[in-house]
Amino acid sequence: MKVGAPCYGCTPEEPCGKYYIVSLWNHVNLGFSLKGLTKKQQKLFQGSGKTMEHIKVYSLADINEKQIIRPLEMIHGIKLSWTAR
């Protein structure tokens, strides 16, 4: 939790992890590492961070499962077999 929020996928090379989740007063940020992503892939996110950017979720109705799964697949370089319901 080096950046003040729970982060996941931490390695010695990336001590802040590959993604994080933080609850703010009116929304949740799902943040993702930009390392190794193309400029096109980076456009999926909001923010102006140099190493991490995020997706904002304001309510359950705002959750787009594909919008969350796709970045996880990109940063891990895998295809998840999970199916949205």
| Predicted confidence (pLDDT) per residue in 29-62, tens digit | 988 888 888 888 888 888 988 888 889 999 999 8
Whether residue 16 is contained in a domain is answered as: yes
For tokens 């970045």, the residue is 71
Q: What is the pLDDT of residue 76?
A: 75
Domain count, the chain: 1
The three-point CA angle 79-56-2 to 5° equals 80
Whether residue 69 is contained in a domain is answered as: yes
Which residue range forms the structural domain that includes residue 32? 7-76
Whether residue 52 is contained in a domain is answered as: yes
Whether the predicted model's global pTM rises above the 0.75 cut: no
Whether residue 2 is contained in a domain is answered as: no
The 52-57 sheet, strands edge to edge: 7-8, 19-23, 28-33, 52-57
